[in-house]
Amino acid sequence: MLKKFIPYILLIVALGAGGILMAMSGKDAVSMAAQEKDTLLAADTVNASFQGVSGKVSSINVKEEQRVKKGDVLMTLDPVDKELEIAKLQSQIAQMDVQIAQAKGSLGIQADKITESEKQAQLDIQAAQTAETQVNKGARAEDIQQQQLAVASAKQSAENALTAVETAKQNVEIAKKTVTSRQKSFDLAQTSYNRVKALKESGVASQAELDKAQNELDSAKIALETAQDQLEIANASVATASKQAGIAQNTVSQQQTALQKMQAGATAEEREQARLKTEKAKEALTQTSKSRDEVQNGKYNVNLLTKQKEALQVQLKSLQLQRDRTVLKASVDGKVTRVVPKLGENVSAGSTVVMIETADLYYDLYVGEADVAKFQAESKVTSHIVALNKDVEGTVEYITSAPQYTNMRMSRDKGQADTSSFQVRVQVPRTENLLPGMTVEVQVHESAD
């Protein structure tokens, strides 16, 4: 008999359970979870590292739990290697300045000599043309007198050329003495470097002392090479001045010969020679003009030295930037949560050495489509801190689609979500008692203003 009443009993129980659920008015677990959201406070962490430089930690200026401000020094690396490289580059730039100044000075002297040579060549042309005219027409008293003046002028030019030769020879002697002095300095620097290197290998001298000796040796070498270049320039000047002096002497002889022939009269052969001399004088002017092309090439060399100096200056700026980057500063306000290396350890470029927890606190809510309209950017949200049993007011920073794993999946075909979720980030003002990791409760139906 009892079996007959079992279906009726089950129906009565089902109806009773449904009535109880309806009486709860949405107090079941699913409804409560939809109305109240639990999440955790969080804070962003900044990983501080040395940008593009590595080396040995020389000082650590912070410790865990210490508050820092943006710009505070966190840690420094030993800058000795960078300082030595900077000093070496500065020395090379200074040497380059000397070379540029010398090259410009040499060009100026050469240009002046060319100008004088052009003037002299023009005088020679005039003299040759005068001589040719006198040969063709015969000498007159005024022509003879003019030729005598030309002879005197040629002699004066020859004397000036000889004076220039003597001056150039004196410059050679000075340059030789400079080379001798620079050679002694280089030999001394080489001996000093060898001694320091031996001491370094035996463990007596430091790397810094060896680097200093190397720098002094490099500077002495550059100075020696510069002095040798100056000697070569001085020798070239002697050769040029001697050549000019020879030309001037030849001009004197030519002018005197022309004067003698004007006085004695000319033959057909002499007339031809006079014509050839005029052509030769014109050719000398052409050669002098070509020398200006050599001056232009010298200007190109000066420009090349200038470009080399600019390249060194770029390297110097790069090294100075790397030296500045050996001092690590805080990029944000916050609290130091971890200091990775120890004093004296070597750290690589880009590796995290200090972790800073920022002063901004936030939490993320994941709400469904039905509740997302209750939140607006910049709106206020009342949050309850469980650990402190107090309410705080936060501000919605942004609202965005949440990852797919937070979606509610029910009974749709192919596992599609019945309800999509949205991520709501809320910024919370930081106080002394608020800490990352604390639980936050948010009543969804009370969240939006």
Mean pLDDT per 10-residue section of the chain, whose length is 449 residues: 60 61 45 64 90 93 92 94 92 91 83 78 78 67 80 86 86 88 88 87 83 87 89 87 87 83 68 79 74 76 88 92 93 91 93 90 86 87 89 91 63 52 89 86 65
Backbone angles phi, psi at 397, to 5 degrees: -85, -50
Which long-range CB contacts under 8 A does 372-375 form with residues at least 24 apart?
372/399, 372/422, 372/424, 374/444, 374/445, 374/447, 374/448, 375/399, 375/424, 375/447, 375/448
Residue 203, C-beta contacts closer than 8 angstroms, at least 6 positions apart: none
pLDDT for residue 411: 43
Residue 127 to residue 151: CA distance in whole angstroms: 9
Cα 425 to Cα 381: distance, rounded to the nearest angstrom: 10
Phi-psi region of 378 (alpha: psi -120 to 50; beta: other; left: phi over 0): left
Is the four-CA dihedral 86, 88, 94, 99 of positive or negative sign?
negative
CA–CA gap between residue 7 and residue 12 (Å, rounded): 9
Is-above-0.85 flag for pTM? no
Residue type, 82: K
- At residue 15, the pLDDT reads 66
CA pair distance 368, 422, nearest whole angstrom: 6
CA atoms of 351 and 51, how far apart (whole Å): 9
The CA distances from residue 89 to 77, 209, 362, in Å, are 21, 18, 50
The predicted structure's pLDDT at residue 36: 66
The pLDDT value given to residue 445: 61
How confident is the model at residue 448, as a pLDDT?
43
Query: Residue length, the chain?
Result: 449
